[in-house]
Amino acid sequence: MAVENKYPFNLPAGTAVFHRSVRPVKIRRQNSRAAIGLKHLAVFAVCFILLFLGVARLYYYLITCEALKIKNIEINASHPELKELVENFLQSHPPGNILLCNLDYLRANLISLPGVKEARVEKVLPSTLRIEVTPRIPRVYVHRGLYFLVDEEGRVLQGEVDPANNEFPVVEDEDYFNQAYEEKVRTACQLLSELEPGMRKTVRRIVFKSNQKMEIELVEDPVLLIIDGQNFREKILYYLENRDSWARLLGPLEYVDLRIEGRVYVKPLELNAGNTRGEKKEVS
């Protein structure tokens, strides 16, 4: 394809086809930043103040609005006494406005009530509060001067001069629970949980002694069982299966020591031939 050459080649010598000016060319740049004057700042300040006042007025309206005041409280509890306890607390400590109600603070106060283990609190706009409480289950009596009915964490549910309910065994400590109170209560509850409900009712008293020794007293049985907490259920069953044969062989017993695996030491309360104290003997 032929291309036409518009520039002649027969120019006179010294003739310049293109000539650049020797003077520098000044490039003009457009300034994109607009100057902010005092008038603009004043308008901005006025708008900010109006916005702040509007938000403050809206906030005041919301926290004082009668429609957002908590009027309905739904309490879900498994025991009527526990529900009544929560209702009495809320009557003396009304939650007020639903937007200002601090759920974490309310939940912490509910958990601090005796008998409440866990609490779930939920807001339902515009004026309803839903509360679900989990009760603490009584496990044992702790004897510390008075008899305190406690759960598996050692939290006191009520105090009594004498145990009113024989369904729960009594837990004692020769050191009066000056050390490891919660641990000892958990240990006692764990041992009792290994037993069936019928067998659990046969345990009357658990006494913590030194050197990790425990004395167990059964219902309508004067013999003390000495254990160390290992294989609790098996040792109780073993004693119940053999106590009659041991009594026929040795007479009334003072205690039965089941701490050593594979060995049983018993101490007769009285010898058959006399009225003297018996000595500890090993039986199989």
Which CATH number fits the domain that encloses residue 120? Answer: 3.10.20.310
Burial class (CB in 10 A: 0-12, 13-18, 19+), 165: exposed
How confident is residue 215, by pLDDT bands cut at 50, 70 and 90?
very high
With 70 as the cut, is the pLDDT of residue 199 above it?
A: yes
Total structural domains within the chain: 2
CA-angle at 248, arms to 246 and 251, nearest 5°: 80
Same domain, 277 and 177: yes
How far apart are the C-alpha atoms of 229 and 246, rounded to whole Å? 23
Flag whether 213 is in a domain: yes
Among 89, 114, 135, the domain boundary falls at 135
Grouping H, G, I as helix, E, B as strand and the rest as coil, residue 43 is helix
Given a contact cutoff of 8 angstroms between Cβ atoms, the answer to whether 116 and 86 are in contact is yes
With 80 as the cut, is the pLDDT of residue 216 above it?
A: yes
Flag whether 2 is in a domain: no
Same domain, 225 and 276: yes
pLDDT in tens, 123-181: 998 889 999 999 999 999 999 989 999 999 999 998 888 887 788 999 999 999 999 99
Half-sphere exposure for 28 (CA within 13 Å, toward CB): 1
Q: How far, CA to CA in Å, does 40 sit from each of 32, 45, 46, 54?
A: 17, 9, 10, 21
Report field, pTM of the whole predicted structure over 0.75 = no
| pLDDT of the residue at 44 | 86
Same domain, 199 and 274: yes
Q: What is the mean pLDDT of residues 197-202?
A: 90
Flag whether 214 is in a domain: yes
Same domain, 172 and 201: yes
Same domain, 78 and 150: no
12 token code pair:
């006179």
Sheet holding 156-160, edge to edge: 156-160, 146-150, 140-144, 170-173, 203-208, 214-218, 224-227, 253-257, 264-268, 281-283
Among 135, 165, 182, the domain boundary falls at 135
Q: 250: closest CA among 263, 236, 264?
A: 264
Among 135, 154, 173, the domain boundary falls at 135
Q: 167: closest CA among 190, 137, 207, 146?
A: 137
Helical spans, DSSP H, in the chain: 38-64, 80-92, 103-111, 181-193, 197-200, 232-250
Same domain, 92 and 184: no
> CB under 8 Å to 253, separation ≥6 — which residues?
223, 243, 246, 247, 266, 267, 268, 269
How confident is residue 68, by pLDDT bands cut at 50, 70 and 90?
confident
Flag whether 7 is in a domain: no
Flag whether 59 is in a domain: no
Flag whether 243 is in a domain: yes
R_g of the chain, CA atoms, integer Å? 43
How confident is residue 227, by pLDDT bands cut at 50, 70 and 90?
very high
Same domain, 171 and 275: yes
Instruction: Please say whether the dihedral angle defined by the alpha carbons of residues 154, 155, 160 and 161, taken in this order, is positive or negative.
Output: positive
pLDDT in tens, 3-47: 555 555 555 555 555 555 566 656 666 555 556 678 888 888 889
Q: What is the mean pLDDT of residues 68-79?
A: 90
How far apart are the C-alpha atoms of 64 and 55, rounded to whole Å? 14
Tell me the residue range of the domain where 239 lies.
140-283
How confident is residue 118, by pLDDT bands cut at 50, 70 and 90?
very high
How far apart are the C-alpha atoms of 199 and 253, rounded to whole Å? 21
Given a contact cutoff of 8 angstroms between Cβ atoms, the answer to whether 131 and 119 are in contact is yes
